[in-house]
Amino acid sequence: MNKIRFTKMHGAGNDFIMVDDRDGSFPVYDYRRIAAMGTRRVGVGCEGIILVQKSNNADFRMRFFNPDGSEAEMCGNGARCVAAFAREIGAAASDTMKFETMAGIVSAELLPGNLVRIGMPDPKEIGEDFAVTGVPHKIVSVENITKVDVEREGRAIRMSAEFAPGGTNVDFVEYRLPGTAIVRTYERGVEAETGACGTGAVASAVIGVLDYGLEFPVAVKTMKGFELIVDGKCEGRSVSGLSLTGPWRKVFEGELDWGGLGDEV
């Protein structure tokens, strides 16, 4: 493979490279070039590379790679974007669909106004300011979200012995009753603050409802001004029926020269 066609999309400011890989030709084990593809200045640049592949269990399969080349189980905003992308390329036959991820089968629905709603897996684990919503998230409640040094504080928690060896994503959250959370996320694999984080929005909402007095639905706001809606049901310490709704946008399409990619890195 010398040339790769791709589409650049973003979901609430969280940006992704989308690739139609239904023919299975994408070199998924070439982590160095995948990382170069996701690196700004030498590649396209993104916060995740997403492949649409064939599936025997759903409309299609979503595979998600971090910009460092590692593969992750799930990405909420990426899942919303891939639903729109799959509909466009014909991998999904209607505006409602199901697709396979490493975290399980995800349902999605395209809504008017460039919105997508996805059903999120029930949390696998809920602890003190911690939730696994497809991927692990440590929640740090703060009084003023604008004063947080996300890069420094997030990296320290992500790399701490408490979460070794895999590490964790870190969400700094300013909660506002009855149902608003302003969130900034340090994402593992990106190793930086991202424009938004769908699984982080869900984790922040879940912990907000369980421990900080919020009620579903929760409006999760990003620093770039986008809004994600997290809904669900809560009974005691049990949370189920989670959904994530928010905007998506196609930015541009292009073709990447795979052969020489990453030689400079």
Which residues are known to be catalytic? 75, 197
Scored b (16 or more CB within 10 A) or e, 184-220 reads bbbbbbbbebbbbbbbbbbbbbbbbbbebebebebbb
| CA angle 5–7–10, rounded 5-degree value | 160
Are residues 100 and 233 in contact, defined by beta-carbon separation less than 8 angstroms? no
**Cα 69 to Cα 25, 63, 148, distances in angstroms:** 17, 12, 28
How far, in Å, CA of 219 to CA of 109, rounded?
A: 19
Structure tokens at 79: 């899942």
